[in-house]
Structures are given as C-alpha cells and as structure tokens.
Amino acid sequence: MSVLPIDPILSCKDSLAFEANYFAGDIEKEWQAMNLAGEGIGDSLLRDMRELRTIPHRPRLLVLAGKGHNGGDALVAAKRFLKTIPTAKAVLWPYCSWSSVRPLCKRAYDELVEFAGKRIVEVKEVEGFADQFEIESKFLELFEKGEFAASIDGFLGMQAKLPLKSPLKNFVSVFNKSEKIGVRAAVDLPTGLTDGDVEDVIAADFTYSTGIAKTPITKEDNQKWTGRLRYLELGFFDELQNPCEEFGKTSVIRSSALKILRKLRPAISDKRSNGHLFLLAGSRHLGGAAMMAAQAALKAGVGLLTVGVPESLHASFVASRPEAMWVPLPETPDGCLALEGLGLIRKYLGKVSALAIGPGVGEDAETHSLIRETVNFWKGPAVLDADALRSEILDRVSSPERLVLTPHLGELARITNQESVFDYSIRTGSTIVLKGSHSQVISPMQCTYSFSGSSILARGGSGDLLTGIIGALLAKEQFDLFSSTLLSVLWHGRAAEVLARQHGQEAVNVTDILDYLSFAIRNDF
C-alpha cells in the first residue's frame, strides 16, 4: 500500500450516503465545506485560465447556479474570483428563482450580492425561458457586452434526473456551441453527468471535483465532457484510518502529496546517498529519447547517473550532458543496442540502485534480447518504457513484481493480449502506469489516479521524461515501489501545469517541463 495521502473514488450513490453520514444534518459543517470548496474552485480556475491566455484586465465571469450545493459552490467561487480581481464582473444565470433554492445556496447568493453589488448582472432563471430561440437571443444579448473569460457550471450535481428536459436541454445545446466563452469550469460534475446513461452534458474544460471524486469523471467516454480533472480535497476522509480499504481499490492522490519531496538533504550526505540509476536507452535514429530521459533523471535529483547508449551517440552526448556517465555500447548494423554489450552492462549493474530501460531503443530483436537478459540479471527495481514493453521481453522476466511498466493504451494492448490492466498487474505483480489524459498507477492492490497535468503533455518525449523521473525516485530508495511511481506521475503532471500557466499549451518544448519540477515541489498551489 502507498504511504501517500490518497482518497477513494466513489459512485454518486455511495457519495450521497457518505455525505449524509459525514454531515449528519450539521448545517454549519456543510457551510464550512461549501466555502472551502467554492474558494478552492475560484483559486483553481484563476490558475487554470492561464493555460489559455493571460487573464484580461476586466474579465467577465458567467456563473450558472442551480438550487443545491453545486450552485452554492459556484456562487462562493464567483465571490472568490471577484475578490481576487477587483476589476472583474459576473453574470449570474440561475436555474430557478432564488426563492426556490436550498438555504445554503441562498446564503451563498446573499453574501455574493452583498459583497459584489453592481459588479453583478442577473439573468432570468433558465426555467423561465420558453424555447431555444429565446435562450439564443439572451446569449447574443450578453455577448454584445463582450466575451466571457470564464464560466462556472453549478447547475446540477450528482442527483440530477436524466435525461435533461427543455428548457435546460436547449440551454446545454446553445452553451456548448458558443465560441465566446474562454475557459469553462464545472463544479464537481458537469451538468447532465451522473452514474447513469449520458445524453446532454454541459461541456467543461476543467472539472473541479470537490471533497469526493465521483466515478463518472474517470470514465474515458466522459472525458469529452469533463475536460481536465482537478481534485480539491476537503478533508472528508481524514478521520478514517484506511478509507481506500473501506471503499474499494480505486482512488485519487491528493496534490498535497508532493510536499513529501520538499525536504532538505542531510548535511552528512554525498552523491551515493541520493541513488545511482543505470539508464539503458537510445538508438542511432532515436537518440533524443535517451537524452531526455537522462536529463529528467538528473533534474529529479538522482545522485549518480550511468547511461548505456549506442557507441555512435557517445561523444556528442558526453559533450551535451557531462553530469552523466555515458557508456558506449556495441551497436547492431541498424544502430540499435547489440547483445554483445551485455557483459559490459553487467559490470555496472553491481554499483547501481535502480534500472531504467526503453526510451528510444527501437524495434531490433537483438536489442530486445539484450533488455530481457539485463532485466533478468538485475534483481532490483526497474522501470521499463517504450519498446522495452513487449511480451517477448516481459513474459520471460523473473520476479516481475519489481518492475514498473509505463505503457500508453497501444503499448498496453501489445503486452496484455486483451487481458485487463488490473488482471495483468495481479497476475504478474508489476506496477503499471497507464498513461493518458489522467494517468493511473495500478498495482495488484490498488488503482490510483493522478489528476495532475495539462494537455501540454500531448507531445512526443513527455513519456521519456516520466521514465527518467521514475528511475530517479526508484534509485533514491526513499519510498516503496508504488509510492515512488505515483509521486513521479504527480510531479511530472504538476510541472506541466505550471509550464502551461506560464507559457500556454502551444509554443513550448516538452523538455521545458524539466525547468518547472523545482517550482512544483517548492510551492503550494
């Protein structure tokens, strides 16, 4: 089990039951949670908006407020937004009349109006619109005064009754087609998304899961509605000793887990105290992958790094990154690593604490034999990526429970032969990083999501960086295999977030992520 702070992911039904027991009718406790959730959404939205553009001087915010707690969260978030940016203004579009909302939602509304005053414009409730044409007309009227920098969807939550009916169904259609709303945020669940079948959903760019992450947001088919996921933990599970054991194997890591990396190195330490990683990577045609993995391992703080690469790459790589110890290895005629290099590799393995293999090694069968023999000779932890992820290698590896495998969906299909990822992990004992929009770290005991990251990672090379980071943390031997892997995924994703907020998602290089690893662990955000 992981030593890191992780919380269970629950179905909507189980979430409702948990919250009923947790709050036990205590209105003030619910109000405190609403304020924590709303303020967290407001702060997170202000950060995530920067992935699109710098925040305008006078941003307009569209707030969609329902009658329940999601509506209250959205209103508190709007207050936080307006408080942070004194020049901002908001348009409130309620689902129903304010006289019909629940007490805490009304309380949030009253406090927002008292605080913001004339900076708020209110629109007639959605229930009062006759048809789609009238809704379209209202949107056009609002857009005449400018675009919205952002929106917050707090209409319906996990108790939504589906399918949606008009006029809300018409509203969803118009809203999703609009091109004059910058960044779209959803509170907890986008309106129209629950445990049941999905038809009409208000699409979001970011979904802020508050207090409890719900199962619908993790389903791959729903990600076109949820956008990027963020988990805002509210301490609901703090009083439980083993919440994930109680509620099941699927969980999410808290962003605060990165604090565990924020520590001073002991004064009495040297390079050997911080791990020694051996990286086997690269080919004549894919040398960049080896360099990126090496750079990432060094940036992640490994004390010593030895890298075995094809001899044709050696001279230039030594000049480019002299901190690493580069070992020239024999090549095949196609420029891949030759089996002949196994003896030399073995001489180095007796000195290292972890192994990383795969980035850029290519498809040569002789190289795959070299990898298989190397992994079997080495008895410690190892991370395998890219073309090292092949059944002809993995099916013949002894003690696979010491391995971390980092496939994307295509590579996963290549090694599992239609077996589910969880069944594969149980059978082999391996830890698996299933890379995707929201990566999962899977062991025989648990499946934990990391909601960190940015679409900036949808670039060649981001996986090579992750391999280097995982290798570095494994080599340091500070945590168990699963925790080291999960921390690496979280760290990699958070660095990408910071980069995207500073420079956007487009005009960057994937290796720029490395420059933000330090910021990601030195700052709370």
pLDDT given at position 77:
98
Confidence check: pLDDT of 245 > 80? no
Classify residue 57 as exposed, middle or buried by CB count within 10 Å of its CB (0-12, 13-18, 19+): exposed
Same domain, 404 and 481: yes
So what's the pLDDT on residue 242? 79
Residues counted in the chain = 525
Q: What is the pLDDT of residues 296-314, one digit of tens each?
A: 999 999 999 999 999 999 9
What confidence tier does 198 reach under pLDDT thresholds 50, 70, 90?
confident
Instruction: Answer whether residue 295 is part of any domain.
Output: yes
> Would you say 236 and 15 are in contact if contact means Cβ atoms under 8 Å apart?
no
Neighbours of 269 (CB within 10 A): 10
Say if residue 192's pLDDT is above 80: yes
333 and 471 together in one domain: yes
Q: Is 362 found in the same domain as 305?
A: yes
Q: Which of 220, 252, 284 is the last residue of a domain?
A: 252
> What is the H or E stretch that residue 392 is in?
helix 391-394
Confirm whether 259 is domain-assigned: no
For 318-333, how does the pLDDT look when each residue is reduced to its tens digit (9 = 90+)? 999 999 999 999 999 9
Give the DSSP letter of residue 222: G
The whole-angstrom separation of Cα 477 and Cα 479 is 6
Residue 71: is its pLDDT beyond 80?
yes
pLDDT at 1 over 70: no
Which residue type sits at 400? P
The count of C-alpha atoms lying within 13 angstroms of the C-alpha of 437, restricted to the half-sphere facing its C-beta, is 16
Claim to verify: residue 128 and residue 13 sit in the same structural domain: yes
Residue 264 inside a domain? The answer is no
Residues 407 and 396: their CA atoms lie apart, in Å, by: 18
Q: Name the domain boundary from 193, 217, 252.
A: 252
**Residue 132: is its pLDDT beyond 90?**
yes
Report percent pLDDT > 70 for the chain. Answer: 100
Place of tokens 């009238």: 134
- Edge-first strand order for the sheet with 181-187 is 120-122, 89-94, 60-65, 148-154, 181-187, 206-210, 228-232
Helix (H, G, I), strand (E, B) or coil at 403: strand
Query: pLDDT value at position 3?
Result: 77
Handedness of CA 60, 66, 72, 73 (dihedral sign): negative
pTM of the model: 0.96
Q: Is residue 261 part of a domain?
A: no
**DSSP class per residue in 99-149:** GGS-HHHHHHHHHHHHHHGGGEEE---GGG--SHHHHHHHHHHHHTT--EE
Please name the residues in contact with 64: beta carbons below 8 A apart, sequence gap of 6 or more. Answer: 74, 93, 95, 151, 152, 153, 154, 155, 191, 202
Taking only the tens place, the pLDDT of each residue in 410-420 is 999 999 988 99
Q: What is the dihedral of CA 260, 263, 267, 273, to 10 degrees?
A: 40
Count of structural domains, the chain: 2
Q: Does residue 260 lie in a domain region?
A: no
Cα separation of 120 and 60, whole Å? 10
Closest alpha carbon to 175 in 197, 146, 153, 159: 153
The answer on 218 and 314 residing in a single domain is no
Same domain, 352 and 420: yes
CATH of the domain at 374: 3.40.1190.20
Q: What is the mean pLDDT of the chain?
A: 96
Is the model more confident about 270 or about 525? 270
Selection from 353, 351, 369, 352 nearest residue 361 by Cα: 369
pLDDT at 344 over 70: yes
Cβ partners under 8 Å of residue 311, min gap 6? 328, 329, 330, 331
**pLDDT mean over 166-174:** 96
Q: What is the pLDDT of residue 388?
A: 98
Q: Domain check: are 231 and 302 in the same one?
A: no
pLDDT of residue 273: 87
Whether residue 447 is contained in a domain is answered as: yes
Per-residue model confidence (pLDDT) at position 236 = 96
- Encode pLDDT of 199-211 as tens digits: 899 999 999 999 9
Spell out the residues 6+ positions from residue 503 whose beta carbon is closer than 8 angstroms to its own.
512
Q: What's the per-residue H, E or C state across 427-439? A: HHCCEEEECCCCC
Q: Is the separation of the CB atoms in 251 and 449 below 8 Å?
A: yes
Q: Is the pLDDT of residue 363 over 90?
A: yes
Domain presence at residue 198: yes
Q: Do residues 426 and 301 share a domain?
A: yes
- Confidence band, pLDDT 50/70/90 cuts, at residue 506: very high
Domain extent for 320? 275-522
Confidence of residue 2 (pLDDT cuts 50, 70, 90): low
Q: Same domain for 203 and 293? A: no
**Residue recorded with tokens 């986008």:** 190
- Element spanning 469, H or E: helix 462-476
The pLDDT of residue 460 is above 90: yes
Tell me, yes or no, whether 196 lies in a domain: yes
Whether residues 229 and 295 fall in one domain: no
CATH number at residue 130: 3.40.50.10260
CA-to-CA separations, 423 to 188, 317, 440, 494, 498, in angstroms, rounded: 30, 40, 14, 29, 35
Q: Do 299 and 370 fall within a single domain?
A: yes
Name the domain boundary from 252, 286, 315: 252
Answer yes or no: do 228 and 133 share one domain. Answer: yes
501-513 core/surface letters (b: 16 or more CB in 10 A; e: else):
bebbbeebebbbb
DSSP single-letter state for residue 67: S
Does the pLDDT value for residue 240 go beyond 90? no
